[in-house]
Structure 1
Amino acid sequence: MTTAYDVQILSTGGYVPGDPLDNATLEKYVGPLPDDVLDGIQVRTRYWMIDPATGRHVINNSRMAERASRQALERAGVEPEELDLIVVCTATPEYSLPNVATTLQHYLGLETVAAIEIRGACAGWVQALDLARRQLEDGTARTALVVGSEAGSPILAPHFLGKDPASVRMRDRLTLYTFGDGAGAVVLRAEPAGTPAGTAEPSAFVNACVGGLRKPGMEIIGGGTDVPQAEQLRRRQLLQMKVDVPGTTTFGPQVFVRAIQEMARKDGRSLGEFDAIVLPEGNADYFAAEYEAAGLPAADIRALDGRIVENLADVGATGSAAVPLSLDAGWTSGRIRPGDRVVLLGIEASRYVYTGLSVTWQAPLPA
């Protein structure tokens, strides 16, 4: 007879590198943005793993993942040796191989563990969490660490290093002001269903790519195998981040509306019955003017008020780390409490992927 297991999130952890880089300081390096544009992107501070004056790396992706992981493990009272599974999501690894999951395993001092890496950016951490949840539910593993870590600043640096700030293109400034680095992690544990420690409400999961025939909303070009290396070296920049601002602005609200409506249907709840919706890269006002046009009823728009958990203004858009960093901020601030029904929602712009997972929160406020 197969044993059924319930899965709980025991703890979160978060790490952002260095000191906060506020807009006034960033302006000295990359030039200004108009006030209305700054208000639109919402970011007041971000953290970079590079020194903005020199481009020198202060830390790397895997070490940020380690810092967040160790904090989550300590809060959970779990030793690294208890882990059966590590799942890491990132779009900015140090190397193509070895992957960040196995490098994190090495930093945690683990000889043997199941280690998986997902490259899904803003939507990928929720995919990673669901993958781990399913392996714990079927008994494949008992204790898992799920990490999202992103190091975008080294890609951004060539846009401004060694240049007169006045010469930095406005479209590049928009990207520079938007993105930050960091890592977030959670520790999961499975307990036999029906036991006091193994009583949990079932989760609901949604996942779709809805931009398969659209122009990419975001691209990171270079360092891959699209053309010969000699041709890549002749490009204006070896690595370039491109964002389709008009496309993401117009289509992004539609992706969000589709995602949150499907999540509510799958979970069998109205939006007003969720206690917290972790939507890290933009609060309820970010697309508010576009929600109704994208098909979200006025009652649902009102229901979002006070339920969105996000920290975009404080850390910037952090890709794979966005959902776990927002979740960490929500839990440690007391915004997310035991008994809350929580939606973790990630939306990724390159091909417009959305993914969502609902959980009933059980972890008490960390000491």
Structure 2
Amino acid sequence: MATTTAYVASAGTALPGEPVDNAVLGKLLGVSSEWIDLFVGTRTRHFGWDLGTGEVRRTLTDLAAEAAGQALEGAGLDPADIEFVVLATATPDTLLPTTATQVADRLGLNYLPVHQLQAGCSGAVQALDLGRALIGDGSRAGLVIGGDVTHRHLDIHRDRSRMPTEELVNYVLFGDGAGAAVLTAEPTDPVGASGGGVALRGVLNHFAGLGRPPGQTVDWYGISDRRQERPLLSEDYKAIEESVPVMAAEILWDLLGLVGWTVDDLDYLLPPQLSQRMTARIVEQLPVPPGIREVSCVTDTGNTGNALPFFQLQRLLPQLRTGQRAIALSVESSKWIKSGFALEKC
């Protein structure tokens, strides 16, 4: 196993269009903005498709390429410096060609490994883990990307007055977005930051769903079953509400044990970003010091799936000072995956 330390040189993000607030979304769905606030607590989200017509205006490729370009600029690197691309998503633009290769093409990258991971909320962490391994195998710099879009799973033409609550909530919970980070083999200061590099000290990626029913299902249709009525996106919210806070605490202890830290060593916490309400509930139950600084984004971005850790990274990196430490937690409820990572400013 490679033991070389990888460094997070920069992060970039992309959101499509103007923010959609609860009043606008509530009017479209026939529910009150107060109900949205009570159920998920998220204030705004962004969509790459038009709310009135359903027309797709920004694809995942568009968003991922924009975020990756921003990350490259933040690291002060050119595309020629990049030696691999890893992209994680649950909602690729097409099954083939992969969105990862489309993004590489958009960035002008060629003759390098390009990987795509099919995953939900844990995918961004899995991408970081694979990127770290590639750095350990001799690469000097690479791009890790995560993002998701909703247009395949949210149908604005459906009769929403007859939707069950567990399906309707998906229309207010999720948004579109992409994020990226540049990993390097040597400490590199993000442009505009001070001090040394940000070391990726440890990554956790554990399947923990043996024998458990899925908490979330993202389906897809082929030519033979496209007219079936089953929902494309469904969740067991009771299982998620019960399990995610417990799993988040387990991830915290697992990561601390992995890197040899205690909770008192932490300066920043990047908690799971399912929704504002759920995030607040998780943080309240975590055994962290009162002074720890939380880095969250879901209130403003909505749940953007694989993009979320990169939005948190982008907010965190300018704040980190030499010697400070941060820990990120992520729970994927599809088949219950515990994931996270630990960072330290050198």
Match of 1:365 in 2: none
Identity of paired residues, percent?
A: 28
C-alpha RMSD over aligned residues:
2.5
1:274 aligns with 2:266: yes
- Report the secondary structure of 2:201's partner residue: coil
Measured against aligned partners, the alpha-carbon deviations of 1:227-246 in whole angstroms (never above 9, x if no partner) come to xx32x123126x61001111
1:328 aligns with 2:314: yes
Match of 1:361 in 2: 345
1:239-258 equivalence runs, <5 A = 240-258=232-250
1:88 aligns with 2:87: yes
- Report the secondary structure of 2:146's partner residue: strand
1:312 aligns with 2:298: yes
User: Could you tell which deviates more after superposition, 5-14 or 124-133?
Assistant: 5-14
Amino acid at match of 2:127: A
Note if contact 1:44-1:314 (Cα within 8 Å) is conserved in structure 2: yes
For the residues of structure 1 that align with 2:36 and 2:244, how far apart are their CA atoms? 17
Question: Gapped runs of 5+ residues in structure 1?
Answer: 363-367
Amino acid at match of 1:286: R
Measured against aligned partners, the alpha-carbon deviations of 1:157-216 in whole angstroms (never above 9, x if no partner) come to x2x3253x5444322221111001100111111139xxxx99876712222122232121
Q: Cα gap change, 1:178/1:9 in structure 2, threshold over 3 Å: closer, same or farther?
A: same
- Report the secondary structure of 2:157's partner residue: coil
TM-score between the two structures when normalised by the length of structure 1: 0.84
Amino acid at match of 1:212: L
For the residues of structure 2 that align with 1:161 and 1:273, how far apart are their CA atoms? 51
> Given the alignment, which residue of 171, 191, 202 partners 1:204?
202
Match of 2:54 in 1: 55
Equivalent pairs counted in the alignment come to 335
- Report the secondary structure of 1:264's partner residue: helix
Amino acid at match of 2:328: L
Note if contact 1:105-1:113 (Cα within 8 Å) is conserved in structure 2: no
For the residues of structure 2 that align with 1:272 and 1:181, how far apart are their CA atoms? 35
TM-score between the two structures when normalised by the length of structure 2: 0.89
For the residues of structure 1 that align with 2:198 and 2:67, how far apart are their CA atoms? 26
1:1-367 equivalence runs, <5 A = 5-32=4-31, 35=34, 38-139=37-138, 141-156=139-154, 158=155, 160-161=156-157, 163=159, 165-191=160-186, 203-223=201-221, 229-230=223-224, 232-236=225-229, 240-281=232-273, 282=275, 285-287=280-282, 291=285, 300-301=287-288, 303=289, 306-331=292-317, 334-361=318-345
- Report the secondary structure of 2:111's partner residue: coil
Q: Which 4+ residue blocks in structure 1 deviate beyond 3 angstroms? A: 3-6, 33-37, 165-169, 197-202, 334-339
Note if contact 1:190-1:198 (Cα within 8 Å) is conserved in structure 2: no
Question: Gapped runs of 5+ residues in structure 2?
Answer: 188-194
Structure 1 residue 41: Cα displacement: 1.6
Note if contact 2:36-2:172 (Cα within 8 Å) is conserved in structure 1: no
Measured against aligned partners, the alpha-carbon deviations of 1:11-45 in whole angstroms (never above 9, x if no partner) come to 11000101101110001111215846623422110
For the residues of structure 2 that align with 1:317 and 1:310, how far apart are their CA atoms? 11
- Report the secondary structure of 1:223's partner residue: coil
Note if contact 1:123-1:345 (Cα within 8 Å) is conserved in structure 2: no
